[in-house]
Structure 1
């Protein structure tokens, strides 16, 4: 078996960033005068920021709105964000097996790092600004053996990278959607991850 390297998505996989992202959207509305339904926006986290911004802003304003949102993000989004249940223990489970931890997210890497540092979630690598199949490039480059995410696009990423996708039903996608997208396992949340990892590693050793 290859050396263990587990990739994790960030939003709604490791962290519940909905309160912070909602606060940033409200700040964006205050700054630009363009209404964004913050609660609706955070109900569908996963795709790149530009996709959500394009729902509210005319095409010619999308680029500048994305820039403004990212400028506001450190002030409004970091403090309200909390780790999801089992996040720290999931990382510790990988470490306990001598493994490496990789975060691959659609969020800019620098902003993802702010979250991880604020919450004390120590990882080896962070790669940002990638979605769905794009994430496979980073997973392959860093030798990922598994990828954990909450979105069907994360399962697409795992399949494209040729590694098992482990889904957590903590985001916008149902267990059924995650299974249909090719998840090797679907967990309620990361509290189930250490036991699942044990089983996956044991299985790999017998292959």
Structure 2
């Protein structure tokens, strides 16, 4: 029988603490919101638990009826305070480039407000083929399935759950709030020390895939 063609490669990436170290920028945005509203926010604590939607963090500092307007205001001031201080994670540009070099598509699926996610990527020169925001944990599977992602790379146990819900291979990096043990316990298929190891891993993955096409 003739060999069936291998499906085009699509790899999804999380954003915060996977592709970008947004802690300095997010800290600055929280401090600005705190100063504007007169409400105490422990920004140093907040940036240790990045990953879940903004509203979950704001619930620690504001009463329920203020969470939505404060979220709207945070997203409004975010570009002025959070974009410039944010750095690319080690290996981030190379990881995305490795996917595209092999003719694949690199997409970003994040809980972050999509326009702000796009600003980060543009500022840091990270070229994604699509950016999908406002999705967290299992809900990320919606975008991963829509784009046919075979792999999803993230730093949080929520990212692992999103990958597994989508039927994608979960590649995890312990560069955010979750350590390697927690990521493995959640079911990550692969745990890399950071994204600097991703291009070599991808080459091995593709070699195996090409040797045993679906």
**TM bucket normalised to smaller:** over 0.9
Determine which of 36, 48, 57 is the counterpart of 2:62.
57
Q: CA deviation at 1:120?
A: 0.7
Q: CA deviation at 1:205?
A: 2.2
Q: Deviations over 1:143-176 (max 9, x none)?
A: 1110000000000000000010100110000100
Determine which of 5, 8, 20 is the counterpart of 1:3.
8
Secondary structure (helix, strand or coil) at the match of 1:89 reads helix
Secondary structure (helix, strand or coil) at the match of 1:55 reads coil
Q: Deviations over 1:59-115 (max 9, x none)?
A: 111111101111110000000000000001001110111000100000011110000
Contact 1:28 1:69 in 2 (8 A): yes
Determine which of 125, 133, 139 is the counterpart of 1:128.
133
- Cross-structure match for 2:3: none
Determine which of 190, 194, 197 is the counterpart of 2:202.
197
Any stretches of 5+ residues in structure 2 without a counterpart? Answer: 1-5
- Cross-structure match for 2:88: 83
TM-score (norm 1): 0.98
Moved beyond 4 Å, runs of 4+: none
TM-score (norm 2): 0.95
- Cross-structure match for 1:68: 73
**Residue 46, structure 1, aligned to residue 47, structure 2:** no
Q: Deviations over 1:111-153 (max 9, x none)?
A: 1000000011111100000001100000010111100000000
Contact 1:134 1:157 in 2 (8 A): yes
**Residue 157, structure 1, aligned to residue 146, structure 2:** no
Q: Distance in 1 between matches of 2:96 and 2:150?
A: 14
Q: Distance in 2 between matches of 1:171 and 1:142?
A: 25
Secondary structure (helix, strand or coil) at the match of 1:45 reads coil
Q: Distance in 2 between matches of 1:2 and 1:164?
A: 15
Query: For 1:77-156, what aligned pairs fall within 5 Å after superposition?
Result: 77-156=82-161
Secondary structure (helix, strand or coil) at the match of 2:8 reads coil
